[in-house]
Amino acid sequence: MKSIKSRIRRTSNGVKLIIFDLDGPILDSFKNSQRGVSIGVKKLIQEFGVSPKRVILNTETYIKCWGYPGLKTARLMFPFLTDNELNIINDCWAKNERKGKTPLVKGAIKTLKRLKQKGFLTAILTSRSRNLKFHLKDFHLENLFEIVQSWKNPKGKLEKIHRNHIFCPHHKPNPKTLKPILNWAAKKGVSKKEIMMIDDALVGLEAAREAGLKFLGVCTGPLNSKDKWRRYGNLSGKYVIKSIADLPNLIEKRR
């Protein structure tokens, strides 16, 4: 295994560190998450008599609210529900997630291995705090990253899944979220202009813009087309890719 310093020297121009969101770019989890939310909504309507008008779901709701920790996502999607009602949705979402292995985005492992071979540093930055080990260990994904940073849920237990795991009390789009991972990068001699973020949600785009980082949107989440990235995120199509399977060739062309 080549040292980090030798790998950085190989990528002396352009991008050196790529920061991935976990859900969307790597885990193909969006449809399963939608299913979990829908199960919670159905339970509220059928078992608790909640009016369907209070739990309307549509594409725009997902686009504008996705990417936060689970309970906050639910609160943004359904601002008129009580905390108890929101917890029902969140619990159904979490239980549905644990029913089976969430697949990876097609070509994800091949892409990550190729980036590593080419000398790029890779990191995970996720707002997820639950089920990290459940997802990453199944695929041994933790071995393909130099660093993992997850949200430190004040009410949850810490789930360390990496030798270099950071727990941050902030989550995207808060610009403070990026401080730990940027500090780590600086110690490795990587500047902000040599970092790229990959995300499937608007919160990632906002965080990248606030930090002054390069950004690529992927269409394996709620924003599943270049048109939606342009319309909701004001992001040019040249900064959007279908999935991370397209990433290695794209980066090589731009270096």
To the nearest 10°, report the CA torsion of 199, 204, 206, 211.
Answer: -100
Residue 147 and residue 81 share a domain: no
- What pTM does this model have? 0.92
Query: Among residues 223, 250, 222, which one has the least CA distance to residue 238?
Result: 250
pLDDT at 6: 43
Residue 149 and residue 83 share a domain: no
Cβ neighbours, 10 Å, residue 124 = 27
HSE toward the beta carbon, residue 59, CA cutoff 13 A: 7
Show which of 72, 97, 122 is a domain's final residue. 97
CA 142 to chain centre: 15
Residue 80 and residue 113 share a domain: no
Q: What angle do CA 38, 204, 198 make, to 5 degrees?
A: 105
Residue 129 and residue 57 share a domain: no
Are 91 and 125 in contact by the 8 Å Cβ rule? The answer is no
Phi, psi of 196 (to 5 degrees): -125, 140
Residue 16 and residue 92 share a domain: no
Are 225 and 243 in contact by the 8 Å Cβ rule? The answer is no
pLDDT at 7: 43
Residue 207 and residue 172 share a domain: yes
The single residue listed with the structure tokens 């660093």 is 147
One pLDDT digit (tens) per residue for the chain, 255 residues: 445 444 444 444 589 999 999 999 999 999 999 999 999 999 999 999 999 999 999 999 999 999 999 999 999 999 999 999 999 999 999 999 888 888 999 999 999 999 999 999 999 999 998 888 887 777 788 889 999 999 999 988 888 889 999 999 999 999 899 999 999 999 999 999 999 999 999 999 999 999 999 999 999 999 999 999 999 999 999 999 999 999 988 877 665
C-alpha distance from residue 221 to each of 66, 75, 79, 231 (Å) = 9, 19, 22, 15
Residue 46 and residue 23 share a domain: no
Residue 74 and residue 141 share a domain: no
pLDDT at 167: 96
pLDDT at 254: 61
Residue 249 and residue 138 share a domain: yes
By residue range, what is the domain housing residue 19?
4-29+102-254
Cα separation of 156 and 27, whole Å? 22
Q: Length of the chain in residues, anyone?
A: 255
CATH number at residue 129: 3.40.50.1000
Phi, psi of 198 (to 5 degrees): -120, 125
Cα separation of 250 and 11, whole Å? 15
Cα separation of 7 and 29, whole Å? 31
Read off the tokens for 156: 């949850």
pLDDT at 141: 83
pLDDT at 12: 40
Count how many domains the chain has: 2
